Amino acid sequence: MQTASDFRQRSEEALGNPQIRRNFRFAMDGLMAKRRAGLSDPREREQLRTQCAGIRVNALSKLPELLEQLEGNCTRNGIQVHWAESVDEANNIVLEIMRQHDATRMIKGKSMVSEEMELNHFLEDHDIECLESDLGEYIVQLAGETPSHIIAPAIHKNRHEIAELFRQKFPDIPFEEDPEKLARSAREILREKFYKADVGLSGVNFAVAETGTLCLVENEGNGRMCTTVPPVHIAVTGIEKVVEQLSDIPPLLNLLVRSATGQHISTYFNMISSPRKPGEKDGPQEVHLVLPDNERSRIYEDDELINTLRCIRCGACMNHCPVYGRIGGHAYGSTIPGPIGSVVEPQKIGLDTLGELPTASTLCGACGEVCPVRIPLPDLLNRLRYEGVRNNNDGKVKGQSEQRKGTEAWIWKSWSWLHVQPMLYRLAMRTATRLRSLMPRKLGPWTDVRRPPRIAARTLHELAREKGFDNA
């Protein structure tokens, strides 16, 4: 796994790669325009955001009860529920199910939780073929990469790069650069894989406690294939994805899809409530639901950070983030990139390794403004910056205070002390203005790409006095 100590280096590499810059700029501009067009009525948009935020807050406020209700209803419907405290436990649960069926071929629908588990590597180490079937995920897997965006995993590549990848991997297929023809090639290749797979794995967008229903949003039909054709279906989803009732689903689906891509609805919305029942002719004979915790219950304990768990994974925050749009998804070095990634990942992995991610933000506020469930992302980024440099270990965030640097702490302490000493403050400002010509031309990384700041000839107090403010 990459670590964020390489974050600066990866950001610099991305910024220095004009192809990556162009690909992201093009994609982000497109996604922002589509969301704007898809949610053009501000009154309706804000009403839906308030409604969906309420649904998620309600679900989180009753999370343990709803999880028990979900488990009870799923079990009654014939879905086998498995709980996992860590990603290791979750991986082993999946492996055990595969072994019970002597299964060696898995076909996967899109699942960010399986990325969090690094399930593909884990299963491949146990000689299980694990194939991604979402077109973007498939492209990324062919290239030996990781997704750079949560809903558009191959967004960092353009059609020429993808066509070239297909040429290398499938020399027998005629070379095509047209996206639709590339998609049709993937269709032909993957059909056989759906047909032969022993187990299908998928994520879950929403799990409904009231009815024990697993809901999946998708456009391609690969999610339906994975959950319908193989004899066994394994769904993996974080414990926070549960909602209370079925009537919560229509507004969430509506806003998720429009926030993500600006579509009025996705091509498929797949609601699974049980395995194949007696007499039914198709569908998996077994359905398993794996619920990994992986630090979510720790995040849950903090009344501010709990809002991290509202997320419905639409990707709007990254589409609108000026930092993500420039450095792209891979620079973050985490499963989920962008503003929500910078909030959720350091809490899971620890601020000691990913503590720089909350600083990958200008705090412009765009992420918070577009979030469909009103997660106060800028506040949470600020909070994690604080947790990273706090001067004690009384907090709960993993790796707290590990980003604290002695010099930086001393500078801020002095700054704060100086500002409550009026005489000294004036003297210091006066000295600074008089000695301004001694200001160094090089000021660390700041001046690598900018001119050095210039100190004014006279202090603000002096200027004010000249204007006649006698209390200045």
* Cβ density class 201-236: b for 16+ within 10 Å, e for less: bbbbbbbbbbbbbbbbbbbbbbbbbbbbbbbbbbbb
**Closer residue to another protein, CB minimum distance, 31 or 123:** 31
Query: Shortest Cβ distance from residue 401 to another protein (Å)?
Result: 22
CA distance 23 to 324: 12
**What type of residue sits at position 358?**
P
| Contact between residue 94 and residue 201 where contact means Cβ atoms under 8 Å apart | yes
What residues numbered 12-31 form the site for another protein, per CB under 8 A?
Answer: 26-27, 30-31
**Closer residue to another protein, CB minimum distance, 315 or 355:** 315
Residue 363 Ramachandran class (φ > 0 left, ψ -120 to 50 alpha, else beta)? left
Tell whether residue 136 is a contact of another protein (CB under 8 A): yes
Nearest to 210, CA basis, from 352, 433, 92, 58: 58
Query: Shortest Cβ distance from residue 418 to another protein (Å)?
Result: 36
Q: In this chain, which of 16, 18, 42, 43 binds another protein, going by CB under 8 A?
A: 43
Count of chain residues binding another protein (CB under 8 A) = 100
Query: Shortest Cβ distance from residue 365 to another protein (Å)?
Result: 19
| Contact between residue 35 and residue 369 where contact means Cβ atoms under 8 Å apart | no
What residues numbered 89-108 form the site for another protein, per CB under 8 A?
Answer: 89, 93
Cα–Cα separations (whole angstroms), residue 32 to 324, 325, 336, 346, 456? 13, 11, 19, 26, 40
**Closer residue to another protein, CB minimum distance, 60 or 173:** 60
Instruction: Find tokens 């959720």 and name the residue.
Output: 344
Q: In this chain, which of 116, 130, 150, 224 binds another protein, going by CB under 8 A?
A: 224
CA distance 319 to 326: 11
Tell whether residue 44 is a contact of another protein (CB under 8 A): yes
Task: Give the containing element (helix H, strand E) for 242.
Answer: strand 242-243
Tell whether residue 162 is a contact of another protein (CB under 8 A): yes
| Contact between residue 355 and residue 402 where contact means Cβ atoms under 8 Å apart | yes
**Closer residue to another protein, CB minimum distance, 113 or 429:** 113
Tell whether residue 61 is a contact of another protein (CB under 8 A): yes
Tell whether residue 57 is a contact of another protein (CB under 8 A): yes
The contact pattern for another protein, residues 171-200, with x = CB under 8 A and - = no contact, is --------xx-xxx-xx--xx--xx-----
Phi/psi for 210 (5° steps) reads: -55, -35
Query: Shortest Cβ distance from residue 90 to another protein (Å)?
Result: 9
**How many Cβ atoms are within 10 Å of 449's Cβ, its own excluded?**
7
Which residues are within 8 A (CB) of 232 and not within 5 positions of it... i.e. 6 or more apart? 97, 101, 103, 198, 199, 200, 284, 285, 286, 287, 288
Stretch that binds another protein, among 218-226, 341-349, 364-372, 420-428 (CB under 8 A): 218-226
Q: In this chain, which of 4, 14, 39, 53 binds another protein, going by CB under 8 A?
A: 53
Query: Shortest Cβ distance from residue 322 to another protein (Å)?
Result: 19
Query: Shortest Cβ distance from residue 58 to another protein (Å)?
Result: 8
Paired tokens of 235:
């769904």
CA distance 416 to 193: 63
Tell whether residue 211 is a contact of another protein (CB under 8 A): yes
**Closer residue to another protein, CB minimum distance, 283 or 350:** 283
Nearest to 321, CA basis, from 308, 305, 334, 340: 340
**Closer residue to another protein, CB minimum distance, 48 or 112:** 48
Tell whether residue 219 is a contact of another protein (CB under 8 A): yes
Paired tokens of 230:
């193989």
Q: In this chain, which of 70, 119, 128, 135 binds another protein, going by CB under 8 A?
A: 135
Q: In this chain, which of 59, 225, 234, 311 binds another protein, going by CB under 8 A?
A: 225
CA distance 433 to 426: 11
Tell whether residue 442 is a contact of another protein (CB under 8 A): no
What residues numbered 228-287 form the site for another protein, per CB under 8 A?
Answer: 228-229, 239, 245-247, 249-251, 253-254, 261, 264-277, 279-283
**Closer residue to another protein, CB minimum distance, 2 or 51:** 51
Task: Give the containing element (helix H, strand E) for 52.
Answer: helix 42-61
Query: Shortest Cβ distance from residue 62 to another protein (Å)?
Result: 10
Q: In this chain, which of 38, 83, 118, 382 binds another protein, going by CB under 8 A?
A: 83
Tell whether residue 54 is a contact of another protein (CB under 8 A): yes
Instruction: Find tokens 């073929």 and name the residue.
Output: 129
Phi/psi for 367 (5° steps) reads: -60, -45
**How many Cβ atoms are within 10 Å of 322's Cβ, its own excluded?**
13
Query: Shortest Cβ distance from residue 191 to another protein (Å)?
Result: 7
The contact pattern for another protein, residues 297-336, with x = CB under 8 A and - = no contact, is xx-xx-x--x------------------------------
CA distance 155 to 339: 17
Tell whether residue 47 is a contact of another protein (CB under 8 A): yes
Stretch that binds another protein, among 113-121, 146-154, 406-414, 461-469 (CB under 8 A): 146-154
Query: Shortest Cβ distance from residue 85 to another protein (Å)?
Result: 5
| Contact between residue 366 and residue 392 where contact means Cβ atoms under 8 Å apart | no
